[in-house]
Amino acid sequence: MGPRYKGRFLSALIVGMAMTVLVVQASPVRADDCKAVQNILVLFDASGYMKEKNHYEQLLTQMGYFIDAMPLTADGFFNVGLRHYGLKVGLGCNNSESILPIEPWDPERFSNAFPKHVSYGVSSLSTGLREAADEAAAAQGKTVILLIGGGLESCKTNPINVADRISLNNPDVEVHTFQVGNMEEGRYVLEHIAAKCRGTYHNTAAITSSAEWHVWMRRHLVVPCGPAADAPGAAPATKVGPVTFDYKSFTVRSRDASVDAANMASLEAVGRRLQANPSSRVVLHGFTDGKGSQQYNLRLSRQRAEAVSRYLQTTYGIPSARIGIVAHGIAQDAGSPPGQPQLGGRRTVEFELLD
């Protein structure tokens, strides 16, 4: 693995591990009903295709985002495993191997399981998919497979037919696909695998930070904790408005008196709620209005979320371990799952309260 691979992945790993430690200290594993699935199995492409155009570097970058997003996603953590296909030269169409069994999430072990020196072999996608499905079916609890790679098959087996059999034989297994690169053949295969196995298709070029992984995880891997909103005797949900920022600003105080009053009311509501519920935590989602470069907007959205975090810490004494930050950059409809707040306001930091 070249220096650039190591540098980017190590930076993402350090951030992810730090965030994991903070959140785990504040919020130990709680009710299993916070998770729609128990297990995640990452199946990644290490075939010759991944040598081209920095594809392997792109995959490692996505895994860095994945690590960052994991501790922000649910009250309880998942069991996670890692399997490759196409790594070993000479194994031909039988080229698939589990390099991390499905076990409780450990970000350091997960990152270290990725090969540091790879010898790219044949793209045996069908074999990898088949063996991943067998591994997932043997695990206790619901399992999803995250298939990340080019989507190409070098052997005679049709991976779409394999996916069809998986769907029939393992109805509880979902396969979500994430394409690295833009090969039309790969897109066709990965879209059809996801459709057959009750999953979703994505191109990793559209995933530019941990924020997108976090939103995807919240939608597909977890369900709201606690009593249903419409259950008899359930307390009504309290909706807290966002903190809205002045143009180019990342201070929580606004020059507009009405906006400033609304900001202070929202911050007080969140601060008091966190004080009253010591086991609860909050994820701060930062957004911008899209003026300027993508890098500038991503940095500004993080600065805004950090400003709200500092205010909650200094004014209400909320430990930083109970506050997570997701920088989205340019505002867009984040497509939150049912029961979760709709995110994506312009020049805002929005609150996701986790009880």
Q: CA 62, 211, 312 angle in degrees (round to 5)?
A: 135
Q: What does the pLDDT read at residue 345?
A: 60
Q: Mind listing the pLDDT tens digit for each residue in 306-347?
A: 999 999 999 999 998 889 888 888 876 443 433 444 444 689
Q: Mind listing the pLDDT tens digit for each residue in 256-265?
A: 999 999 999 9
Q: What does the pLDDT read at residue 181?
A: 94
Q: Are 301 and 287 in contact (CB under 8 A)?
A: yes
134 or 208: which leads in pLDDT = 134
- pLDDT greater than 80 at residue 138: yes
Candidate from 52-66, 211-225, 299-313 with smallest mean pLDDT: 211-225
Q: Mind listing the pLDDT tens digit for each residue in 181-193?
A: 999 999 999 999 9
**CATH number of this structure's domain 243-354:** 3.30.1330.60
Q: Model confidence at 34, in pLDDT bands (50, 70, 90)?
A: low
The backbone torsions φ and ψ at residue 116, rounded to the nearest 5 degrees and listed phi first, read -85, -30
- HEC string for 123-167: CCHHHHHHHHHHHHHHCCCCEEEEEEECCCCCCCCCHHHHHHHHH
Neighbours of 36 (CB within 10 A): 16
**Which residues face 287 on adjacent strands?**
329
Tell me which amino acid residue 316 is: Y
Q: Model confidence at 214, in pLDDT bands (50, 70, 90)?
A: confident
* Alpha carbons 114 and 332: distance in angstroms, whole number: 33
Mean pLDDT over the full length of the chain = 82
Length of the chain: 355
Q: What does the pLDDT read at residue 336?
A: 42
Q: Model confidence at 115, in pLDDT bands (50, 70, 90)?
A: confident
Residue 222 DSSP symbol: B
**Contact partners, residue 27, CB within 8 Å, separation at least 6:** 75, 279, 281, 322, 354
Q: Mind listing the pLDDT tens digit for each residue in 39-62?
A: 999 999 999 999 888 899 999 999
* Alpha carbons 205 and 181: distance in angstroms, whole number: 8
Q: Would you say the C-alpha torsion 101, 161, 222, 310 has a positive or negative sign?
A: positive
Domain 22-220 has CATH 3.40.640.10: no
Kindly state the average pLDDT of the residues 209-227: 79
3 state DSSP class of 287: strand
Question: Radius of gyration (Cα) for the chain, nearest Å?
Answer: 21
Phi-psi region of 82 (alpha: psi -120 to 50; beta: other; left: phi over 0): beta
pTM exceeds 0.75 for this model = no
* Alpha carbons 9 and 112: distance in angstroms, whole number: 11
Tell me which amino acid residue 243 is: V
Q: Are 318 and 271 in contact (CB under 8 A)?
A: yes
* Alpha carbons 45 and 129: distance in angstroms, whole number: 11
Q: Are 95 and 122 in contact (CB under 8 A)?
A: yes
Q: Are strands 348-354 and 243-244 parallel, antiparallel or unpaired?
A: antiparallel
Residue ranges per structural domain of the chain: 22-220, 243-354
Candidate from 99-103, 237-241, 311-315 with smallest mean pLDDT: 237-241
